[in-house]
Amino acid sequence: MARTELPDARVSPRFAGVCTFGRYPRLEDVGPAGRPVDWAIFGVPFDGGVTFRPGARFGPRAVRDASQYLKRYHLGHRVDVCEALSLTDAGDAPIKPYGIKATLDAVAAWATSLADPGTRLMAVGGDHSVAYANIRATWERRGKPKGGLALVHFDAHLDTVDAVWGESWGHASPFRRAIEDGLIDPKAMISLGVRGPLNTPTDLDFAAKAGVRLVSIDEARASGAALLAAYVKALGGREAYVTVDIDVFDPSVAPGTGTPCPGGLSANEGFALLRALRGLHLAGADVVEVLPDRDVSGMTAMLAAHVMFEVLALSAS
């Protein structure tokens, strides 16, 4: 019997029914207790932390809608994700539209107690500030590992700025806060795809001094897969969190995002890098910064849904 029961698309069309991610069952419909949930997917419809274009609060709805045509078998990993894993859509986390820190605290508290204690969490945003909340919940649920979780970070931006306009919890700062709070081990953090102009070269100082491995877009293209395979091997089974800002991809394939930066990854390049993480012990994940109002024919939301499927396939393989 499959770990995740899906509606038969030949009986119930993919465009019909309640719109959950991948048509996975709702958390309240999953049972019995003898079949624990491997992954709970939830939305965080919040974009109060953005520094440029707003609208990512509508990202979770758009990604769920785009995910209706996801299928279950991953050709690259040769795995039926729904046979290997019990998957559920847990709905949306509670948010407070006018407060960044209040939202992050509320999301972290809600996510910490979600589903089974061993269930891993995948958040779909929302802006990148929400990653802090899911990282915090994941760290709590994985037993508060001393020194913090390892982190694989795909992004056009480093997101370790101290503050923007006096706000220290926005989408430019989640990993600085996570490092300061001991949730992430910076020496086990790798950031791939960073590119484009900076406000000042000192924007890189915190990460460099903390020991973050920064992989530029050019290096990611040239040797990113080998770097990631070596990274996974070096972790030696240590648990890692994966965070994907959709703007790591080029605007030609992901126009629907708040801080687009030309020169990013193609879809094929991004998938190849994700597949190079095979063997990674996943603790949790998020995919963020989908902005539907700037999307073209839903292509960014569709890409985000497939990125999420790639992460699940990593866990299943």
E strand or H helix that includes residue 217: helix 217-235
What does the chain come to in residues?
A: 317
Model pLDDT, residue 32: 57
Strands 73-74 and 79-80: what pairing? antiparallel
Helix (H, G, I), strand (E, B) or coil at 81: helix
98 within some domain: yes
12 within some domain: no
Distance CA 175, CA 49 (A): 14
Number of domains in the chain: 1
- Residue 92 token pair: 């949306």
Distance CA 296, CA 300 (A): 7
42 versus 23: the higher-pLDDT residue is: 42
* CB 42, CB 89: distance < 8 Å: yes
Distance CA 109, CA 257 (A): 27
Distance CA 40, CA 243 (A): 16
Distance CA 125, CA 110 (A): 15
Q: State phi, psi for 76 to the nearest 5 degrees.
A: -65, -45
Distance CA 119, CA 86 (A): 9
Dump pLDDT digits (tens) for 154-181.
999 999 998 899 999 999 999 999 999 9
Structural domain including 299 reads: 21-316
Dump pLDDT digits (tens) for 82-124.
999 999 999 999 999 999 999 999 999 999 999 888 999 999 9
- In this structure, what CATH number is given to the domain that contains residue 73? 3.40.800.10
DSSP summary character for residue 242? E
pLDDT band at 1; cut points 50, 70, 90: very low
Distance CA 124, CA 119 (A): 16
Please state the pTM of the whole predicted model: 0.93
Q: Which residues pair with 115 in a beta bridge?
A: none
236 within some domain: yes
Distance CA 110, CA 40 (A): 13
Of 216, 185, 188, which is closest to residue 280 (Cα–Cα)?
A: 188
Model pLDDT, residue 158: 93
- 247 pLDDT more than 60: yes
* CB 291, CB 55: distance < 8 Å: yes
Distance CA 114, CA 77 (A): 29
2 within some domain: no
3 within some domain: no
pLDDT band at 245; cut points 50, 70, 90: very high
76 within some domain: yes
187 within some domain: yes
Helix (H, G, I), strand (E, B) or coil at 175: helix
pLDDT band at 35; cut points 50, 70, 90: low
7 within some domain: no
Q: State phi, psi for 44 to the nearest 5 degrees.
A: -130, 90
What percentage of the chain carries pLDDT values higher than 70? 97
